[in-house]
Structure 1
Amino acid sequence: MPEQLPAHTPDRITVRGITAHAHHGVYDWERERGQTFVVDAVLELDTRPAAAGDDLERTVNYAELAQRLHGILTGEPVDLLETLAQRMADACLANPLVDAAEITLHKPDAELGVPFDDVTVAIRRQRP
């Protein structure tokens, strides 16, 4: 029986702190005034082919990723962070090299009525 190699742990590309003023939220004042939103993205993929050939075409260009996520963040307003996170995960998974994406959205200026540091919604989606 042939010896089995250990499973490859997914490699990760992470972009943190993409920041924008946007108009998401369920309250009228959120849509009118807007507020700061921050997104972190962690992509899982196999980077070995890119490393072997030193080839950007065989990995994710994180500058393009950041611009795409920023465009979604500043794009069409939605009520829920969950909706925005899903749109961003879908955008990440549109790249056939990406096996899974974890998106964390921060809404540090939310109105909670009590002192707080941050509100986040984090989702992880993977290719079926």
Structure 2
Amino acid sequence: MDNVIIEGLQVQSLIGVYDWERTARRPLLVDLVLEVDLAPAVASDDVSDTIDYARVAETLKQVALNSEFFLLEALAGAMLDALFAEFALQGATLKLSKPDILPDAENVAIRISRRKG
């Protein structure tokens, strides 16, 4: 299967379990691997035969902006649900990072993979 990859996409979300985390949106980073059939785009060189990267990014940004989840896991699941609803995907792996949340770590992240069906 072919892949479309987006790395380091910054989104804003109100997320966290502690009261101090619930006062303002914070930046999160998304790394995404979409499993798609790119053969039509390879053959046609036509943008309409592939995934619109800008629409994917905007979908992720809107889900993050409009959510108020406590857990990264829940937000990542909602992001994947939105992507599968809007795009013809065979599978997807999403890594959602919350940088600078632990004093002795650069980053905390979760990775979730889903398949069509």
Fold in common (TM above 0.5): yes
Gaps of 5+ in 1: 1-9
Q: Which residue, out of 31, 40, 52, partners 2:31? A: 40
Match status 1:125 vs 2:102: no
Equivalent residue number for residue 58 of structure 1: 49
1:115 to 94, 101, 104: 104
Does the aligned pair in 2 maintain the 1:14–1:40 contact within 8 Å? yes
C-alpha contact 1:59 1:97 (8 A) present in aligned 2: no
Q: Displacement, 1:54?
A: 1.8
Larger radius of gyration: 1
* Kept after mapping to 2: 8 A contact 1:13/1:43: yes
1:104 is matched with: 95
User: Structure 1-normalised TM-score?
Assistant: 0.84
Supply the distance in 2 between the matched residues of 1:52 and 1:116 (Cα, whole angstroms). Answer: 45
Q: 1:124 to 1:27 in 2, by over 3 A?
A: same
- Which one-letter code corresponds to 2:27 in the other structure? T
Q: Deviations over 1:67-114 (max 9, x none)?
A: 11111122221011001101111122124521001110000121x3x4
Q: One-letter code of the match for 2:108?
A: V
Report the TM-score, using the length of structure 2 for normalisation.
0.91
Q: Which amino acid aligns with 1:102?
A: T
* Paired position in structure 1 for 2:74: 83
* Distance across 2 between alignment mates of 1:71 and 1:34: 13
Separation in 1 of the partners of 2:23 and 2:86?
34
Q: Which structure 2 residue ranges, 5 or more long, are not aligned?
A: none
In 2, distance between residues paired with 1:73 and 1:33? 13
What residue number does 2:85 align with?
A: 94
Corresponding pairs, count: 117
Aligned-pair CA distance for 1:59: 1.5
Aligned Cα root-mean-square deviation (Å): 1.4
Q: Percent identity?
A: 37
Q: Distance in 2 between matches of 1:45 and 1:51?
A: 12
